[in-house]
Chain A
C-alpha cells in the first residue's frame, strides 16, 4: 500500500549545469496497484523522468521532490532505491561480460534479503526456469553473460525477466516495447500483467498505443517540453493515436 509522488520536479543534466532544465515542474502521483502510461514526443523528458526517479547519477534535481509514502528519496543512491522497491526497465540495458544472467539475478534477489536468509539455490532455479518459460526465453539465456550479444528483443525480454524475478513495488518501464515484434510484445505484456496487484504499480513509457492494447493503463499522461500537459483515462491513448501530439501545447495541461 504505497504511493509514489512526484512534486514540482525540475531536473538538469549534472554535467551541463548551464543548459536549461529538461524537466520543468512535473507533478504525478501513482497509487499502489495503479498502472500509468506516459506518452509524448521524443526528447521531451520522459526517459529523464524515469531515470531521475531511479536515481541515475547523470541527472540532478534542481527543484521539487520525489516521495515514497511521504518520505523523500532524492538523497538516496540508486541501489538503495532499488532495494526500497523501485525498478527501471531500461531502454538500453548495459552489457556485462563475465557475469552470467542467472548469477546476476540471484545477486539482485539476495541483495534484498538478509545475509542469513539468502534464496536457496534450488528455489531460485525453479523460479527462474518457470519465469523464462513464461517469457518463452531459451534456457541457455540463463548461462549467457548479462545482455552480452543479446539482440534488442532479447534484451527487452531480459528486463522483464528481471522484473518478474525481483518483484519490485514500482516498475518504471522505458520503451519496453521498442524493437519487439507483435508476438514478443504480447509475451512481454502478459509478463507485466501477471505482476498486477495491490502491491505493484507501474509507469510505462511508450510512443505507441499498441502496447496499451495489451496492458490497459489506469491513467494516461502526455509529456511535452518537460511537463505533463494532459492526463486522462485509457481512451486518451486512443485519441492520441488518431490526432498525434502536434495540437497539444505546453501549458494546456490540467495538472
Chain B
C-alpha cells in the first residue's frame, strides 16, 4: 500500500490559491519532437499513464491542452539529445518512457504564452538506463503550475538540470522517486527571478530503494521585487537501507525589495543512511565585487559576473554551449534592465 498525500507538501508556496485559477484548456498544437526514428512519438487522447496521487495531478490532467507520449526503446544509445519543445501558446502533458538499459539525453523546452498554464511531465526510467535531462523553462504566460516527476528503476541513473528563466509566477514541483535498488539521481536547478515574479520551487528527492543516492542542488538569483522560494525535501523511506540523500539550496538577493527563502526539509525513516543539507540566503559577495572592481571593471559589470558565477553552480551540467550562452545573455539583459 503506497502512502498517498492529498496535497503536495510545498511550504510557503500558495499552491491551493494557484489551483483556484481557471486553467487554460483550449486545445493547442502538440509538442514538437525532434528525434531519431527509433524513438516513437504519439498523442493519445487520454493520459492514462499519468499519476493521479495529489490534487495538483487532478488539476493538471483535467482537459490537458495536448498530450505527448514518447518511448525510448530498451537498449537505445545516443549521446546526441533529442528535443521536445512545448506549444507556443499552451501547456499540456508529456510522458517519456525510457526502456531498460537505454542511454539517452533529451532537452525539454517551454516558452509558451497563456494565462494559467498546467504542465505535467512524467519520465519513467527502466532498469540500468541512464538519462540526461535538461529542462529549460522560458514561459511567457502569467501563471504556470508545472509538476515534473521522474521514476527510477533498479540501478537507473538520472542527471537532470532545470533552468528556470521564465517570466511567470506560479510553482514548479520536481519529484524524483528512487524506486529501485541502487538508483541514483542528481537534480540541479538554476533560477533567475525578476520583475514582480512570485515563484516557488519544491524539489523532492525520495529514496525508496536500497543503496539509492539522490542529490539536490538549487541556486536562485532574485532581482527587482521578485520573490523566490526554494524548498528541498529529502525523504528516505523505511527500508531504503544504505541510501544517501543530500541537498543544497542557495539564494542570492540583489534588489532591496527582493525576497528569498531557502527551506531544506529532511524526513528520515531509516537508520542506516546518510543525509545532509545546506541552505543560505545571501547578498552579493563584497570581497568578490572588490576584487573584480580593483581590476577596473565597473560595478554593474562586476555584479553581472558574480551573479553569473553563482548561478553557474546550478547550471554546471549544461554542456550545450548555445544554450549556456543564451542563459548568460538573459542574465545580463535582466540585470541591465534592472539597473535602469
Contacts and interface: CB of A to CB of B under 8 A. Distances in A.
B288 interface: yes
A108 B296 CA distance: 6
A88 B309 CA distance: 23
A74 B27 CA distance: 65
B277 interface: no
Contact of A78 (B285, B290, B301, B305): B290
Given A56-B290, A98-B311, A104-B292, 14 more contacts: A56-B294, A57-B286, A77-B299, A79-B293, A79-B294, A93-B291, A94-B292, A96-B292, A96-B306, A98-B313, A99-B305, A108-B295, A111-B297, A162-B295
Interface in B289-340: 290-299, 301-302, 305-306, 308-313
B2 interface: no
A145 B305 CA distance: 11
Contacts of A83: 296
A78 B309 contact: no
Interface string A69-95: 000000001110011000110100111
Contacts of A162: 295
Interface of B: 285-288, 290-299, 301-302, 305-306, 308-313
30 contacts: A55-B294, A56-B290, A57-B286, A77-B299, A78-B293, A79-B293, A79-B294, A79-B297, A79-B298, A82-B294, A83-B296, A93-B291, A94-B287, A94-B291, A95-B288, A96-B288, A96-B291, A96-B309, A97-B310, A98-B308, A98-B311, A99-B305, A99-B308, A104-B292, A107-B297, A107-B305, A108-B295, A111-B296, A111-B298, A166-B295
A77 B293 contact: yes
A176 to B, nearest CB: 15
A144 interface: no
A57 B292 CA distance: 13
A97 B295 contact: no
Contacts of B293: 77-79, 82
A145 B316 CA distance: 12
Nearest to B291: A94
Contacts of B302: 79
A112 interface: yes
Given A78-B293, A90-B291, A96 B305 contact: yes
A7 to B, nearest CB: 23
A117 B287 CA distance: 30
A107 B301 contact: yes
Contacts of A96: 288, 291-292, 305-306, 309
Contacts of B291: 90, 93-94, 96
A87 B301 CA distance: 18
B283 to A, nearest CB: 14
Contact of B294 (A78, A107, A145): A78
Contacts of A145: 309
B133 to A, nearest CB: 22
A111 B288 CA distance: 17
A94 B305 CA distance: 13
Nearest to A107: B297
A54 B292 CA distance: 12
Contacts of B294: 54-56, 78-79, 82, 87-88, 90
Interface in A88-133: 88, 90, 93-99, 104, 107-108, 111-112
The 8 A-B residue pairs whose C-beta atoms are closest, nearest first, are A98-B312, A98-B309, A82-B296, A94-B291, A108-B295, A97-B309, A111-B296, A79-B293
A56 B97 CA distance: 56
Contact of A79 (B296, B306, B309, B312): B296
Nearest to B298: A79
Contacts of B312: 97-98
Contacts of A57: 286, 290
A78 B306 CA distance: 17
Contacts of B285: 94
Nearest to A89: B294
Nearest to A103: B305
B287 A82 contact: no
A98 B296 contact: no
